[in-house]
Amino acid sequence: MSSVRSSRLDADSLQARSVSRSFDGVQALSDVTLSVHRGEMIGLMGPNGAGKSTLVNLMTGFDSPTDGRIMFGSVDVTGWKPWRLARAGMSRTFQHGHSFPQLSTRENIEVAAIGVGATPKEAARRTDGILELLDLGAWQATPAGTLSHGLERLVGVGRALSSNPWFLLLDEPAAGLNDEEGDTFAGVLERIRSEHDLGVILIDHNVPLMLRCSDRIHVLSEGRSLAEGPPDEIKAHPTVVEAYLGSG
């Protein structure tokens, strides 16, 4: 896990600082501040249209804020292109991102590694580590298109890990998984965070999963921050319960 790290920023935190984003009059985000530190898992929640994907887009350079800054440690990276941020140490998955169905699990991850500048040899070495980390070794020769939904999502995470990121932003990676797959997935995220000192922002609607695996939860509603705190605090937050979590 070293060669790409030469163009890296050795940053300990990633922060969206008072960011706003409007699209032709639609205020998708208003003055939102969110930080993640390495080794920390932030759960990002909120109803559909709350601005979660927009925030991840801003933090990974796929979109620029109308107002506010994106900080990578002490470096202002607002306006940086996605590939430059990826090299600096940021990685993401997409809400509707898919693997290459005809390529094997291994090839999917190797292709992603090569895409961020690894040599084929380095890509193979890195992929070995990722397959082991994600417990995907038994499936390495299997075409991604024939994997179960849960395994395919893990391949997506493996692709995102192929740049050896410091920060991983996951946009609804567990959507559509059954309970068992969701549990496996959460276990893998916990392992990645602790073993690799990675900062993770996870978007998901599965409340028990988010309460269990987040260090802090940030709740967005209609583009604004509704609450942020440790799971126990969020669980007891009256406005959050009313607006989002529901009485169950």
Give the interface with ligand ADP as residue ranges (CB under 6 A): 23, 26, 28, 46, 48-54
Q: How far is the CB of 95 from ligand ADP (least distance, A)?
A: 7
- Residue from 30, 53, 184, 221 that binds Mg ion (CB under 5 A)? 53
Backbone angles phi, psi at 29, to 5 degrees: -140, 140
Burial tier of 246 (Cβ tally within 10 Å: 0-12, 13-18, 19+): exposed
- What distance in Å separates the CA atoms of residue 153 and residue 144, rounded to the nearest whole number? 10
Tell me which of ligand ADP, Mg ion, none is bound by residue 43, counting a contact when its beta carbon lies within the kind-specific cut-off of 5 to 8 angstroms.
none
Is there binding between residue 93 and Mg ion (CB under 5 A)? no
Q: How far is the CB of 54 from ligand ADP (least distance, A)?
A: 3
Q: Which of 205, 134, 133, 193 is nearest to 167 (CA)?
A: 193
Residue type, 199: G
Say what the alpha-carbon torsion angle 201, 207, 212, 216 is, to the nearest 10 degrees.
40
Q: How far is the CB of 23 from ligand ADP (least distance, A)?
A: 3
**Pairing outcome for strands 167-171 and 90-93:** parallel
Query: Token pair of 95, please?
Result: 């809400």
Tell me which of Mg ion, ligand ADP, none is bound by residue 46, counting a contact when its beta carbon lies within the kind-specific cut-off of 5 to 8 angstroms.
ligand ADP
Q: How far is the CB of 196 from ligand ADP (least distance, A)?
A: 26
Nearer to ligand ADP, 28 or 186 (CB): 28
Nearer to ligand ADP, 53 or 225 (CB): 53
SS3 174: coil
Q: How far is the CB of 28 from ligand ADP (least distance, A)?
A: 3
Q: How far is the CB of 154 from ligand ADP (least distance, A)?
A: 22
Nearer to ligand ADP, 110 or 172 (CB): 172
The 3-class secondary structure across 110-134, one letter per residue, is: HHHHHHCCCCHHHHHHHHHHHHHHC
Contact flags string 3-42 toward Mg ion, x per CB under 5 A: ----------------------------------------
Nearer to ligand ADP, 40 or 172 (CB): 172
Backbone angles phi, psi at 52, to 5 degrees: -65, -50
Q: Are 192 and 212 in contact (CB under 8 A)?
A: no
What angle in degrees, to the nearest 10, is found between the helix axes of 149-161 and 120-133?
130
Tell me which of ligand ADP, Mg ion, none is bound by residue 83, counting a contact when its beta carbon lies within the kind-specific cut-off of 5 to 8 angstroms.
none
Residues that bind Mg ion (CB under 5 A): 52-53
